[in-house]
């Protein structure tokens, strides 16, 4: 945990402001799954600041209640905490009911909740594999189906924003259940963007690179793992993402300013995944003096 905090302290703090116009989400109600912690909370806080009514949901009611209280105090806006395990369809129907009772209608769903941990795949029990698939893929598809049907039945427009990862398309060892599930969520995002556009329902996704949160760091970079695979070293911009940077992008994609963006996945990772993909990107390790020597040798040969 001390090591986790050490990494968290290295976040590059810059003066980061909100990007959208004040009141961009006035009279809109957005549900954020996993909205009591980490990135879900940061994105929710910004939507609130922009005037949204917020519904936050996850398994732990005490966490949700405390976050809702703090968020309302800070923003003066309305936050409704509703407990729900997104693996259970009937609990999602209850979130929809409670959200409509309180705010009248739902305008958007930010599918952010997830479960993940690192492990060699052969060490996983089938239950461990299932649990991640069930939270990430089944949970997201449950929420999407329940709210989508509700919007279609009521002839209301709506917007989905799904949080995936960059390994949704590259795959990644040691987080295989998560990679499978996020790839499924990405496929669902693109499929429904087309199928449900006739109902005026948009679907987009964001693929974040590393944004420090307690939930992700303690499970993905525990103890000495953080030192062995320092995630900062993989990022061309040499810093982690700021939560406000992600919140700006999320709010934009969910807002009416992005009304023509449908079926897109936007990567926000400081160039991390391409760094791993480009054949010669490793030449970053070659110092300038070595390039000078190679250049001299080349011109000598030519001369
Ligand atoms: C191997 C593990 C394990 C681990 C749990 N299991 N943790 N196996 N390595 N580290 C196994 C258990 O032994 C059990 O199998 C099964 O998984 C279920 O475990 P439980 O602890 O009973 O499950 P539960 O209490 O429901 O917790 C779910 C969880 C947990 C997914 C395991 O981590 C959780 O609550 N996560 C929610 C938040 C989270 O993960 N946030 C990070 C998202 S970050 P057996 O066979 O023993 O019964 C993210 C970022 C990606 O996605 C990209 C970053 C750059
Ligand atoms: P986090 O704080 O651990 O968030 C995960 C949230 O999901 C928690 O609030 C958790 O709350 C909720 N959740 C888990 N299982 C659930 C279930 N069965 N039903 C309902 N809610 C459930 O981690 P985070 O870093 O903010 O991650 C948020 C999202 O960003 C995830 O989709 C993650 O994959 C993605 N992401 C994060 C990073 C990063 O660097 N942080 C990078 C790429 C992608 P409860 O425990 O109360 O249920």
First to last CA, the chain: 60
**Tokens representing residue 54 in the block:** 């917020």
Q: For position 261, what pLDDT does the model report? A: 98
Q: Whose CA is nearest to atom 20 of ligand 2?
A: 58
Give CA–CA dist 89/139, Å, rounded. Answer: 8
Q: Which helix (H) or strand (E) holds 39?
A: helix 38-49
Portion of the chain with pLDDT greater than 70, in percent: 95
Q: Nearest ligand to the C-alpha of residue 139? A: 2
Asked if 209 and 269 touch (Cβ cutoff 8 Å), the reply is yes
Using the atom order of ligand 2, give the atom closest to the CA of residue 59. Answer: 48
CATH of residue 158's domain is 3.40.50.720
265-268 β-sheet, strand order: 79-83, 53-58, 29-33, 108-111, 158-163, 201-208, 265-268
Ligand 1 pocket test: pick from 7, 131, 179, 229 the residue with the most ligand atoms within 8 Å of its Cβ: 131
| Structure-token pair, residue 210 | 């590393």
pLDDT at residue 26, rounded to an integer: 97
pLDDT of 251 above 90? yes
Residue range 187-193: average pLDDT? 98
Positions marked active-site: 167
Question: What spacing in Å lies between the alpha carbon of 93 and ligand 2's midpoint?
Answer: 20
Whether 133 and 190 have beta carbons less than 8 Å apart is answered as no
Q: Determine the atom of ligand 2 nearest the C-alpha atom of 85.
A: 19
pLDDT of residue 24: 98
Distance set, CA 26 to CA 17, 150, 200, 214, 265 (Å): 19, 22, 20, 31, 25
Question: Per-residue confidence at 48, pLDDT binned at 50, 70, 90?
Answer: very high
Mean pLDDT of 152-164: 98
Q: If you measure from the C-alpha of residue 214 to the centroid of ligand 2, how many angstroms do you get, rounded to a whole number?
A: 10
Six-digit token string for 132: 């991640």
In the chain, what is the greatest distance between 2 CA atoms, to the nearest angstrom? 82
pLDDT at 8 over 80: no
Which residues fall within 8 angstroms of residue 28, CB to CB, at 6 or more apart? 51, 52, 53, 107, 108
Number of domains the chain is built from: 1
| Ligand closest to CA 205 | 2
Smallest CA separation from ligand 1 atom 38, residue: 115
Contacts of 216 (CB under 8 A, 6+ apart): 38, 116, 210
Q: How far apart are CA 191 and CA 197, in angstroms?
A: 10
Pocket around ligand 2: residues whose beta carbon is below 6 Å from it?
A: 33-34, 36-40, 58-60, 63, 84-87, 112-116, 135, 139, 163, 165, 208, 210-211, 213, 215-216
CA torsion through residues 109, 133, 128, 230, sign:
negative
| Model pLDDT, residue 2 | 35
Residue 10: pLDDT band with limits 50, 70, 90: very low
User: Is pLDDT at 7 greater than 80 in this prediction?
Assistant: no
pLDDT of 41 > 60? The answer is: yes
The residue nearest atom 54 of ligand 1, judged by CA position, is: 210
Q: What is the pLDDT of residues 205-217, one digit of tens each?
A: 999 999 999 999 9
Q: Are 27 and 54 in contact (CB under 8 A)?
A: no
How would DSSP label each residue in 160-215?
Answer: EEEE--THHHH--TT-HHHHHHHHHHHHHHHHHHHHGGGGTEEEEEEEE-----HH
The atom of ligand 1 lying closest to the CA of 126 is 46
Averaged confidence pLDDT in the chain: 94
Q: Which domain range does residue 70 map to?
A: 2-302
Give CA–CA dist 56/62, Å, rounded. Answer: 12
User: What pLDDT, on the 0 to 100 scale, is given for residue 264?
Assistant: 98
Nearest-angstrom CA–CA distance, 25 and 44: 11
Q: How confident is the model at residue 16 (pLDDT cuts 50, 70, 90)?
A: confident
The residue to mutate among 35, 36, 37, having the most atoms of ligand 2 within 8 angstroms of its beta carbon, is 37
Q: E strands of the chain, at which residues?
A: 29-33, 53-58, 79-83, 108-111, 158-163, 201-208, 265-268
Q: In whole angstroms, give the CA distance from residue 258 to residue 184.
A: 24
Proximal ligand: closest to the CA of 268: 2
Which protein residues touch ligand 1 with a CB less than 6 Å away?
114-117, 119, 124-125, 127-128, 131-132, 165, 178, 210, 215-216, 219-220
Q: Tell me the pTM.
A: 0.95
pLDDT band at 227 (very low <50, low <70, confident <90, very high): confident
Dist. CA 125 → ligand 2 center (Å): 21
């Amino acid at each position: 945990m001390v090591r986790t905090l050490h990494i968290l302290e290295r976040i590059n703090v810059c003066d980061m402001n909100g990007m959208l116009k004040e009141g961009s989400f006035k009279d809109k109600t957005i549900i954020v799954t996993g909205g009591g912690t980490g990135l879900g909370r940061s994105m929710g806080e910004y939507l609130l600041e922009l005037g949204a009514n917020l519904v936050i949901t996850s398994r732990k009611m005490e966490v949700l209640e405390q976050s809702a209280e703090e968020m309302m105090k800070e923003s003066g806006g309305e936050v409704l905490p509703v407990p729900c395990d997104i693996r259970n369809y009937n609990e999602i129907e209850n979130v929809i009911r409670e959200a409509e009772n309180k705010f009248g209608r739902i305008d958007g769903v930010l599918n952010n909740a997830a479960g993940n941990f690192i492990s060699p795949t052969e060490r996983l029990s089938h239950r461990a594999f299932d649990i991640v698939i069930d939270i990430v893929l089944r949970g997201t598809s449950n929420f999407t189906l329940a709210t989508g049907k509700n919007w279609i039945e009521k002839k209301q427009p709506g917007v989905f924003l799904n949080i995936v990862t960059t390994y949704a398309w590259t795959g990644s060892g040691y987080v295989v259940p998560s990679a499978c599930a996020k790839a499924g969520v990405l496929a669902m995002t693109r499929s429904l963007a087309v199928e449900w556009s006739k109902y005026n329902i948009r679907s987009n996704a964001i693929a974040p690179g590393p944004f420090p949160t307690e939930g992700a760091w303690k499970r993905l970079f525990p103890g000495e793992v953080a030192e062995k695979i320092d995630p900062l070293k993989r990022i061309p911009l040499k810093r982690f993402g700021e939560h406000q940077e992600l919140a700006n992008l999320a709010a934009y994609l969910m807002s009416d300013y992005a009304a023509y963006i449908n079926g897109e996945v936007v990567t926000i990772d400081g160039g991390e995944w391409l760094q791993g993909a480009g054949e010669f990107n490793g030449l970053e390790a070659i110092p300038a003096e070595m390039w000078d020597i190679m250049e001299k040798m080349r011109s000598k040969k030519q001369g």
